[in-house]
Amino acid sequence: MTEASEAGQTQAKADQALKAKHRAMWALGDYPAVATDVIPALGPELVRGSGVRPGSRVLDVAAGSGNAAIPAAMAGADVVAVDLTPELLEAGRQLADERGAELEWREGDAEALSFADGDFDTVMSCVGVMFAPHHQQAADELVRVCRPGGRIGLINWTPEGFIGQMFAAMRPYAPPPPPGAQPPPLWGDEEHVRALLGDRVTGLDARRQALHVDQFTGPEDFRDFFKSSYGPTIAVYRAIADDPEKVAALDAALVDLAARHLEDGAMDWEYLLVTADRAAA
């Protein structure tokens, strides 16, 4: 075996371990509750922004429990929802059944999609693909499976917005990321997304918008909900569980963050809505 092939195998094993860790992280807590109770408006907004039409073939990448996939299906599209975490797909199936939506659910990796080139009219992701660790690989796949003239639509949290600030607050308490992994909120930076998609798309439009969140009675309520329901937050707390001082410090940091954003029982969480058309081959 050559040195290059050994290095390739080592990298492949490291990537498999990282994806297994991500899969387990998103199975923690209750992300479907986050999607349905806190951020339900994001999916329909992405469906509208992406111009999803009846009969169009749509792929929702890193679909979670179907926050965008289900509204797309209810709009009459032929939808495939792909996610790394089987538990989220199962929750999505149940939600779709309850709402009378028909779509396909498939386990898969945003960085290695199992679809042919140009297979979809619309490829979208709602605060999902941003968590794939290798941004360029994920972006390449979004472009690859979208047909020429088709639409790519993305909603991602911005680095400067509330969720971006939450990740910044958690960073000192989290294990260091593996080599090559990039911070999720970078997907909420227009220039970063433009660089990822490059000249393979045309007419890229990027808009900063805000989600109005009024689900929390106070800063502690926000902290406790995310501490028990949101996989990334749960994972950070687990990493410091043996250090009460760090747990108390993170508790205080999240309460302080929410207190600075809460006004009259509500917060505005900034996100970036990106739409672009796949350039002709």
Q: Which amino acid is at 138?
A: A
Contacts of 194-202 with C-beta under 8 Å, sequence gap 24+, read: 196/135, 196/136, 196/139, 197/139, 197/142, 197/143, 197/152, 197/276, 199/279, 200/143, 200/278, 200/279, 201/143, 201/152, 201/276, 201/277, 201/278, 201/279, 202/276, 202/277, 202/279
Dist. CA 113–CA 227, nearest whole Å: 31
Q: Give the number of residues written for the chain.
A: 281
| Structure tokens, 168 | 């910044």
CATH of 13-167+176-212+270-278, one of 2.40.100.10, 3.40.50.150, 3.30.420.40, 3.50.50.60: 3.40.50.150
Chain centroid offset of residue 116 CA: 22
Contact 225, 26 (CB under 8 A): no
* pTM listed for this prediction: 0.94
The one-digit pLDDT tens for each residue of the chain (281 residues) are 565 556 446 566 778 889 999 999 999 999 999 999 999 999 999 999 999 999 999 999 999 999 999 999 999 999 999 999 999 999 999 999 999 999 999 999 999 999 999 999 999 999 999 999 999 999 999 999 999 999 999 999 999 999 999 999 999 999 998 888 999 999 999 999 999 999 999 999 999 999 999 999 999 999 999 999 999 999 999 999 999 999 999 999 999 999 999 999 999 999 999 999 999 97
